[in-house]
Structure formats: C-alpha cells, structure tokens
C-alpha cells in the first residue's frame, strides 16, 4: 500500500484541467450520480429546493446608492441574474417596477461566456458610473468593466481590466486605485495584488502610477479613497497576513503617515473619528473592544479613546454600521443578537439606547444604511423557524416591517433549543438544536451536525429554507455547533484554536456530538456531520479522529492537505490561521492536523461525500480529489462530486445549488435514516 508522504502519489490530481484528472473526475461524478441522483426521491427533492431558491416572493434585499435602491436577482427565468434598481417609493410596493441595468444571461449568451455576477462599485457622490466585476464561472478572479448608469451600457473607452484577483476603487470621475496582475512581481505569493496604483482614464494600465507596494510574502495591498464630503482622504494598506495589517494615510504630497494601531487591529476613518476594533489588549482595553478616537488628534499623538464596546465572557462584538449621525452596534450574547444605537454628543462621549427588540435565539443584521445623507436603516430579523422580515426605519422614529418572507417549510412540531457541551479541556461550547420538540416515548432520530470553527466567523441563527425542506420536514434534527476558532465570543474564542491549537476546535465539535447522544437526541449511527471550506477541514478531522461518532460525513470544497495548502491557489494567505508548512516549527503540527495524511486502511470510517468545483480558485479542488482517491485506494466508502463551475461557492446558479444540496441530503438520508 502506498503511503502519502512528501512525494505524493496523487499530485497529478492537482492539475486542475489536466486530461487525466478530468477523466478521473468524470468517472467519480458518474458513480455519485448513479448512487444519489438515481435515488427515487432525488428529482422531487431537487425540484422542491429549486422552488425555494427561485421563489418570486423572496425579499429583494437592496442597497441605497443615491436616489435608487439596487438589487441583484436570480430566479428560474433569470438564471445568471439581473442587476436592477428602483426608487424607494416603488420598493415599498409588493411588486416594484424595476429598471434592469444589466442582464447577465443576455451578456453571457452574447459573449459565449459563463459570466457570474461578482458585484459593482458605484462612484460616490454622483452615483453615475459603476465598476462592474464579472467572474468566469464563479471564480474569485474577475474582469472589470466601467458601466454608465444613465445609459445602462458599458463605457466603450472606460476602465477595463482583464481577468485577475483585482482590487479597484474610485478616486474621482477619471481616476481609480487599482491593484491587479501586471506580470512578474505584481502579485504576492498568495496570488493577490502586491501594488497599489493610480490609474487615470484614457491612459494604458501599464502606465499607471505606483503609489504603494507590499512585500511579496504579504497577503495583499489595497488603496481606498474616502469620498465623504468634507472628509475626503486616501488610504493604502498592506495585509501582512490574514489577520495583521498596516494602514497609511496617503497625503496630497504622496507621503505616507502610518495609522499607529496594533497590526492585528481593524482601523478606519469615519468623518472626524478613527474607529478601532481590537484583537489584542491595547491602551488598557481588552481584545474585542471597539474604540473611537478623534482622527486628527490621533495623528498628532493623542491616544485618548472613547470606549464604544467592551466584551465580557458571554458577549462579543458582531458588527457596526453608520448612519449620518449615529452608530448601530450589533453584539452577540451567547450567540444571540442584540442591537443598539450609539450617538456622539457635542461635548464628548456617546449616548446609547436599544434600537429594536430581538426575539430570543434570533439574529438581526443591518442590511444597509445611508451614512452620507440620512439616518435611514434597513434591518433583517430572522430565526431558525422565523422567516426573514425586512425592517425599515430612521433613527429616532418608529420602524416598520417593509417586507416579510413567507414560511418555506412546515415547522409544525419543531422547536429551537440552545445547549452547552463540555469540551475536553472543560470549555463550555454552545450549540443550537432545531428539530422535533420533546415528545413522550420519542426515541433518537437522524441528526445533522454542522460546524465551521475558523477565521473568527460566527455561526448565528438564521432561517434556512433549504435545510428546512431537505432535512427538518423529513423528521431530521439540525444542529449548529459554535466551536472555538469562530467568532461567537470574540478574538479569544478564535485565537484559542489557532495553529497548533486547532485540535481544540475538533474536540469542541466532538463534544457536541457526544452531548447529542447523551441527551438521547440521536445515536452515532444516525448522526451526520457537514461543513465546507475550513469546515471541510473540520470534517476531515472528524473522519480521521472521531469516526466512531458519526454515521456519515459530508465535506464541501474542503481543505484537507495541510502540507501543501500554502502552495495551492490562495492557500498562502491562510498560514496565520494554521501555520506554515515551510516552517520547521509548524510542520509537525500541520502533519498531525492534515486529514489527507492521517488516512489509513486499518480504521473503520463512516461513508463520506466530498464535493468541490473545478473553478474554485480559492480552495484548490485537488484537496477533495486527492482525499477521494486515497480513500478509494484504502478501500473505504467514498463518493465524490465536482461541479465544473461555481467557484468556491460550489455553484454558479440556482440549478447547480439545488443539485448539490439534493446530492448532500440524499446521501445523508440514505445512511442516517432508520429503516422503515
């Protein structure tokens, strides 16, 4: 039996478009289709999920840009979607009159290209032009084209950039900051722009003026123009790694003034304020705090901070958004959202009051504000069994529910509970259980445990109609584990599972699995686990470290080879999270972490489904391909599905999304549901 060593026998599967690799992919896809897509219930399930994704009465979430509200929309007729806008008055109607600006389906057909919408930057303050980003089949790399919002057409002689992981933003009507692939030396080792340039309309991109340059070993460089009237400023930054950066004020004479905050802090200017989010202790304030300084005084050396938020062991900062005169603050208390309004006072200090009541075990998210002009806000409120409601209001006045999403699945008899498991080192780990409420004589049933545990990303309550139809309606229980590595309790919760401490996240997830069994909710044979990207690494850990806890595992666009991840696509940008395989001090723990290298023939693994995308230019499809090949070689039960497009999302349209979700839930139900 071949062992996976540094001389990897499956390196040929890293050749993304190689003939042999794609032939292998086609063979595996056919096996998976025969096992799952041919299941009698698959077509009906897929159609019901597609119905959810395409529903015409979904809330059309919008952002304000000047006089209009902009929205991107996909459905059964507009598969790739349309970028459109309407007026605030029209938006209040059940069926607004939308002005279609760009039809991606028509553009894709005209240019014979699988374009996927990747966003647009509308120029402030005139809101007359946009920099539209389009991805080929869903990858992170994009092409950029200038778009005229008045005529609804691309500007023939406007700004245009070829395919790359470009960072671009307006400076004024005729100038942009740009970082892109300009040939050798212009990208970092992680594949992101290394330089920031000032590019003037009508001049060749190659003649753009170099403004700032990061190191080759940095993650990226970027430039940003703040167009706030009366506070116009330019900034450049270098990201040293995924969590550390240096930001500079670019003065009119092109000199750089360092914004002297800790390099792991997030800092930005807003009008007269410098706002700093701490990831470590500083100026006597703990990690996780939100601080405000007078911007000009700070540059002059004054470090007098106004403390806007201080965390405690149960509460963390979730986000904040500005209106014209106020700051909306979102916090998490045991992973449920609270929201309040902070207002700076003329004499110094801030007042605060609740913005709205939030139901228990729910989430409220600021969808959009209009910080240049008004105190308007849009809020989305939802819960696991509570469909989204879009609230609209202005600070100081009552809000209203502007749009309400209908229920998409039958929640009768379902309940939501929060429990806490005890991890191996004694840490209390919260998790949510959504499923059938307690019933006399009810025994354990199929359960699906989902987790992520990385990059300070929290998993918070939300209404998931796909999971509702695919899993909950069938009698399954759905569980979300808030394990370390995430952001549920702020920077400390994240940092507890960095680098060599990553196994703490794995122990947390295993503890939740064990607690579900101890509570009688499920059994190991009926418990499935799922996760994607970094959550795919978590799934690889469950497979190789805790296989006895699960009856089936699904890893989506997973990270699995921890000795080569830094050499594949964007992987070099994640060494701050995991460690660097080229560093002798890190290599031993990365080998221990690497699911690909832990696979053996002498352990019993639960059945596993690995999914990925050929066009994923963030997490290389080779991770899933190689693990599937290795599992097959060792004689274990594995299915593999690779979508040809879709990028890191794994799907570029609703048809692909419905297909992927139907594959996953069919696989899980086949293995976890008790026989009738």
> Do 527 and 426 share a structural domain?
yes
Q: What is the pLDDT of residue 129?
A: 98
Q: State the catalytic residue, choosing from 566, 620, 648, 671.
A: 648
pLDDT in tens, 419-441: 999 999 999 999 999 999 776 66
Whether residue 612 is predicted with pLDDT greater than 60 in this model: the reply is: yes
CATH number at residue 488: 3.40.50.1820
> Do 432 and 393 share a structural domain?
no
Which of 405, 423, 442 is a domain's end point? 405
CA distances from 34 to 172, 606, 629 (A): 56, 20, 18
Residue 11 lies in a domain: no
Residue 148 lies in a domain: no
Whether residue 5 is predicted with pLDDT greater than 60 in this model: the reply is: no
Which of 383, 405, 427 is a domain's end point? 405
Q: What is the pTM of this model?
A: 0.95
Confidence band, pLDDT 50/70/90 cuts, at residue 674: low
> Do 476 and 356 share a structural domain?
no
> DSSP string spanning 295-307?
HHHHHTT----EE
CA distances from 487 to 117, 180, 188, 259 (A): 28, 31, 27, 25
CB atoms within 10 A of CB 350: 16
**Domain residue limits at 571:** 22-50+415-672
> Do 437 and 501 share a structural domain?
yes
Residues 219 and 240: beta-carbon distance below 8 Å? yes
Q: In angstroms, rounded to a whole number, what is the distance separating the alpha carbons of residues 72 and 119?
A: 9
Whether residue 636 is predicted with pLDDT greater than 80 in this model: the reply is: yes
> Do 490 and 394 share a structural domain?
no
Q: What is the pLDDT of residue 676?
A: 44
> Do 443 and 383 share a structural domain?
no
pLDDT in tens, 163-216: 999 999 999 999 999 999 999 999 999 999 999 999 999 999 999 999 999 999
> Do 580 and 504 share a structural domain?
yes
Please compute the mean of the pLDDT values over residues 604-614 and round it to a whole number. 97
Confidence band, pLDDT 50/70/90 cuts, at residue 631: very high
Residue 76 lies in a domain: no
Helix H or strand E encompassing 20: helix 19-32
Q: State the catalytic residue, choosing from 135, 336, 533, 613.
A: 533
- Cβ neighbours for 360, distance < 8 A, ≥ 6 positions apart: 336
Catalytic site includes residue 533: yes
> Do 478 and 616 share a structural domain?
yes
Q: What is the pLDDT of residue 442?
A: 75
Q: In angstroms, rounded to a whole number, what is the distance separating the alpha carbons of residues 582 and 399?
A: 54
CA distances from 24 to 30, 369, 396 (A): 10, 49, 61
Q: What is the pLDDT of residue 650?
A: 85
Please compute the mean of the pLDDT values over residues 662-668 and round it to a whole number. 98
> Do 461 and 317 share a structural domain?
no
> Do 358 and 461 share a structural domain?
no
Least reliable range by pLDDT among 113-122, 375-384, 432-441, 623-632: 432-441
pLDDT in tens, 360-396: 888 999 999 999 999 999 999 999 999 999 999 999 9
Number of domains in the chain: 3
> Do 432 and 317 share a structural domain?
no
């Amino acid at each position: 039996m071949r062992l996976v060593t540094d001389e990897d026998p499956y390196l040929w599967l890293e050749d993304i478009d190689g003939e042999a690799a794609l032939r292998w992919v086609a063979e595996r896809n056919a096996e998976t289709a025969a096992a799952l897509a041919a299941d009698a219930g698959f077509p009906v399930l897929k159609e019901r999920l597609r119905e959810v994704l395409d529903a015409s009465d979904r809330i059309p979430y919008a952002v304000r840009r000047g006089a209009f509200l902009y929205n991107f929309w996909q459905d059964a007729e507009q598969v790739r979607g349309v970028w459109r806008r309407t007026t605030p008055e029209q938006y209040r109607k059940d069926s607004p009159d939308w002005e279609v600006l760009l039809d991606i389906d028509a553009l894709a057909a005209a240019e014979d290209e699988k374009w996927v919408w990747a966003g647009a930057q509308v120029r402030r303050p005139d809101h007359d032009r946009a920099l539209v980003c389009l991805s080929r089949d869903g990858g992170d790399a994009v092409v950029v084209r200038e778009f005229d919002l008045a005529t609804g057409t691309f500007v023939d002689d406007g700004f245009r950039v070829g395919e790359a992981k470009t960072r671009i933003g307006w400076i004024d009507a005729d100038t942009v900051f740009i970082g892109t692939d300009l040939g050798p030396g212009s990208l970092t080792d992680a594949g992101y722009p290394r330089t920031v340039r000032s590019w003037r309309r009508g001049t060749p991109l190659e003649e753009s003026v170099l403004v700032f340059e990061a190191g080759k070993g940095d993650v990226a460089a970027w430039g940003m123009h703040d167009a706030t009237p009366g506070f116009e400023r330019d900034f450049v930054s270098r990201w040293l790694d995924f969590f550390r950066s240096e930001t500079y004020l670019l003065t009119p004479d092109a000199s750089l003034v360092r914004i002297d905050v800790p390099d792991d802090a997030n800092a930005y200017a807003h009008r007269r304020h410098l706002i700093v989010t701490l990831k470590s202790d500083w100026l006597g304030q703990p990690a996780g705090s939100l601080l405000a300084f007078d911007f000009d005084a700070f540059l002059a050396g004054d470090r007098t901070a106004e403390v806007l938020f201080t965390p405690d062991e149960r509460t963390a900062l979730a986000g904040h958004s500005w209106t014209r005169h106020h700051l909306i603050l979102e916090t998490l208390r045991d992973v449920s959202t609270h929201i309040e309004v902070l207002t700076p006072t003329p004499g110094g200090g801030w007042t605060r009051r609740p913005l709205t009541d939030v139901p228990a075990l729910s989430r409220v998210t600021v969808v959009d504000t209009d910080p240049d002009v008004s105190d308007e806000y849009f809020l989305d409120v939802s819960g696991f069994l509570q469909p989204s409601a879009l609230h609209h209001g202005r600070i100081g006045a009552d809000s209203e529910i502007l749009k309400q999403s209908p229920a998409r699945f039958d929640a009768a008899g379902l309940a939501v509970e929060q429990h806490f498991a005890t991890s191996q080192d004694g840490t209390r780990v919260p998790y949510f259980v959504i499923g059938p409420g307690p019933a006399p004589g009810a025994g354990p049933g199929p359960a699906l445990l989902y987790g992520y545990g990385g990059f300070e990303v929290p998993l918070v309550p939300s209404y998931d109609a796909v999971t509702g139809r695919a899993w909950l309606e069938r009698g399954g229980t759905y569980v979300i584990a808030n394990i370390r590595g995430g952001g549920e309790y702020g920077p400390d919760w994240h940092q507890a599972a960095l680098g060599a401490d990553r196994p703490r996240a794995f122990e947390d997830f295993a503890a939740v699995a064990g607690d579900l069994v101890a509570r009688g909710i499920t059994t190991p044979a009926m418990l499935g686990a799922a996760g994607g990207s970094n959550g795919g690494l978590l799934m690889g850990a469950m497979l190789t470290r805790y296989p006895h806890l699960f009856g089936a595992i699904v890893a989506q666009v997973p990270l699995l080879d921890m000795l080569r991840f830094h050499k594949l696509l964007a992987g070099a940008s994640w060494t701050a999270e995991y460690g660097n395989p080229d560093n002798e001090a890190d290599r031993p723990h990365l080998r221990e972490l690497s699911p690909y290298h832990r696979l053996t023939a002498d352990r019993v693994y639960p059945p596993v489904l690995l999914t990925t995308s050929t066009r994923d230019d963030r997490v290389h499809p080779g991770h899933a391909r190689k693990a599937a090949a290795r599992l097959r070689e060792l004689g274990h039960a594995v299915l593999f599905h690779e979508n040809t497009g879709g990028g890191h999302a794994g799907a570029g349209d609703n048809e692909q999304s419905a297909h992927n979700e139907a594959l996953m839930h069919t696989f899980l139900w086949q293995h976890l549901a008790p026989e009738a």
